[in-house]
Structure 1
Amino acid sequence: MSSGVLPKPQMYGLLAKRLWVHIVGTFIVALGVTASCKFGTAEPRKKAYANFYRNYNSMEDFEEMRKTGIFRSGKQLQNV
């Protein structure tokens, strides 16, 4: 049996050291989540809206809805 001396445990500054590690880890995780939301959700959504409105013609859309009967006024309903 060897009778070695046990090392002294660190008592002073232990909480500060552990908090620093957790703060840095939390910051890194938050940056990762933010980047994934921006590049995984926001940018594709912006691109989809831009593509939709690039070729969108509101007058053609209105005429198509008018032909299908979506816009029916009260005057037209009385004659029906």
Structure 2
Amino acid sequence: MSLAKPVMRGPLGKRLRFHLPIAFALSLMAAAAFKFGVTEPRKRAYADFYKNYDATKEFNNMREAGIFESVRPTGK
């Protein structure tokens, strides 16, 4: 009774030929999901916020609230 000889040549290459395309496809799907699920909505939200944002008005509101120590509120 003899044991079968173990395969010593090529098992890594055989596994890589199977697993490498799968890993590549999964990484592309993850990148696309992140781009369209996170990045694009975030860019749209920033664009919508800054469409109507008035920096001067915001500064005056913060100045009137007393947030800035170096700027005194104007007397109204």
TM bin, normalised by shorter chain, reads: 0.7 to 0.9
Query: Offset at 1:52?
Result: 0.6
Which structure is higher in RCO with an 8 Å CA cutoff and minimum separation 6? 2
What is the identity, as a one-letter code, of the residue corresponding to 2:27? A
Number of residue equivalences:
65
Deviation at 1:14, TM superposition (A): 4.8
For the aligned residue pairs, the C-alpha RMSD in angstroms reads 1.9
The answer to whether residue 64 in structure 2 is matched with residue 57 in structure 1 is no
TM-score by length of 1: 0.70
Greater Rg, structure 1 or structure 2? 1
Greater shift, 11-20 or 47-56, is seen at: 11-20
Identical positions, percent: 48
Q: Does 1:30 align with 2:32?
A: no
TM-score of the superposed pair, with normalisation by structure 2: 0.74
Runs (5+) with no aligned partner, structure 1: 1-9
Q: Partner of 1:66: helix, strand, or coil?
A: helix
Task: Say which structure is richer in helix.
Answer: 1
